[in-house]
Structure 1
Amino acid sequence: MNQQSVPSALDTADWRRRVFALYGDVREATDRAEAHAIWRAGRDELLARHAASPLPVEERDVFRGVQIGDYQPQLRFEVAIDTDVEPVRWEVPSATDGVIPFTRIGALHLPAVGDLDVWWLESYGGGVFVPVKDALAGARTYGGGRYLLDTVKGADLGGDFREGWLVVDLNFAYNPSCAYSPLWTCPLAPAGNTVPADLPVGELTVNSTHDPEVQSA
């Protein structure tokens, strides 16, 4: 039987502080492979040891890290945000936070990969959110898609919002919390964040994945 401790508000606040710090270290690293190694180690440490980890309690002691694809430098992009898009609204129902509202604010055109919608979280605090679901979803990558950027929670690889461009590195795609436990509700990649390319990079499938529910925008 899975045991899942509910993290306290302070545990969650500390988790987010550590994620912000981790991505700060990633942005400061001058070597991309080193930045990727920093991120990988930091993610594994949080998942294995932190009180707010989405891993069920009984899995943490035996957790040895998420399977990660080899770093592929051609999958890192410094890309302009195409803001000439219809501001589609996307509402995601959740078990704990009510309806989570997003508005599409742009699109990213990634050569040899495909297009990804850029979403703005309309809840308090706001933030840029970019998920991705690739052709390997359900086989080598999580079936509901993974996250690239989620700035309200600290997952920010850099760029200049004022100038309208982002760093998008698919090697840093990571599994949402619902990949580890059905107790978590996560926004899953909608149609505009589904690409035809195989992306065997970033966090791949995990031992305790859970079937995602389809969400559309």
Structure 2
Amino acid sequence: MTDAWEVRDWRIHVADLYAEVRAEPDPEVAHRMWAHGRAALLRDHPATPVPAGARASFTPEVAPYDPALRFVVRVEPAAPERREVPTPTDGVVPFERVGRVDLPGLGGLDVWWLDSYGGGIFVPLKDASPRTYGGGRYVLDTVKGADLGGTREALVVDLNFAYQPSCAYSSDWVCPLPGPGNTLALPVDAGELHVPVAG
């Protein structure tokens, strides 16, 4: 079982990686840095969700960068909604909808606030592609450091940075997954694609 200090160190590395991503002015270069950094963490870090037997040879599949899937959009008002996600490890994880972003040509995604200690903006994504994890992926999860930058008036939502949650790799992890307001009817073959692992 992963211990608290390993998880803490993982989060430090994730936050540092996203700080480098935000500091790089070329999104395609930032994406390469991110893909390389994520691969190293998933393969080598003690807190990786990749099962031990699969780590040494594990390489995530990341789609080539597509500039058409990078959006800088206003977070529009949305009717208040609360989601309470029960988990066996963290109890009930509460989220409050704080807005919605429109991604031209694709549809809209709800923007959530993690309404518990620490807080954070959360934008999960589920799409129609058979190449992505069926449970969905995360684009932003700022409480864990996955933050592409921006403001309410101009939030960076770059689907090339969509990544698999820990539960995609192992049932030891429990993850809040996208609801209907974070489901796109079209395929989004960007970011991390689903690579089944056995360990």
TM-score (norm 1): 0.89
- What residue number does 1:29 align with? 24
- Which aligned pairs between 1:1-217 and structure 2 lie closer than 5 A? 6-63=1-58, 65-83=59-77, 85-136=78-129, 139-161=130-152, 164-208=153-197
Give structure 1 regions of 4+ aligned residues with deviation exceeding 4 angstroms.
none
- Once residues 206 and 178 of structure 1 are traced to their aligned partners in structure 2, the CA distance between those partners, rounded to angstroms, is 13
Structure 1 alignment gaps of length 5 or more: 1-5, 210-217
Could you give the per-residue CA deviations for residues 170-195 of structure 1, whole angstroms, max 9, x where no partner exists? 00000000000011100111000001
Distance in 2 between residues matched to 1:47 and 1:32, nearest whole Å: 22
8 Å Cα contact 2:65/2:190 also seen in 1: yes
Q: Following TM superposition, by how much is the alpha carbon of 1:76 offset from its aligned partner in structure 2, in angstroms?
A: 0.3
Residues paired across the two proteins, number: 198
One-letter code aligned to 2:60: V
Query: TM-score when scaled to structure 2?
Result: 0.97
Structure 1 residue 208 displacement after superposition: 2.4
CA offsets per residue over residues 7-53 of structure 1, 9 Å max, x none? 11111111000000000000011211110000000000000010110
Q: Which amino acid aligns with 1:82?
A: E
Q: Is the 8 A contact 2:51 2:197 kept in 1?
A: no
Distance in 2 (CA, whole Å) between partners of 1:208 and 1:188 is: 20
Instruction: Give the secondary structure class of the aligned counterpart of 2:192.
Output: coil
Secondary structure in 2 matching 1:71: coil
Cα distance in 2, alignment partners of residues 208 and 121 from structure 1: 29
2:101·2:108 contact (CA, 8 Å) conserved in 1?
A: yes
* Greater relative contact order structure (CA < 8 Å, 6+ sep): 2
Question: Would you say the 8 A contact 1:112–1:197 is kept in 2?
Answer: no
Give the whole-Å Cα distance in 2 for the aligned partners of 1:41 and 1:70.
13
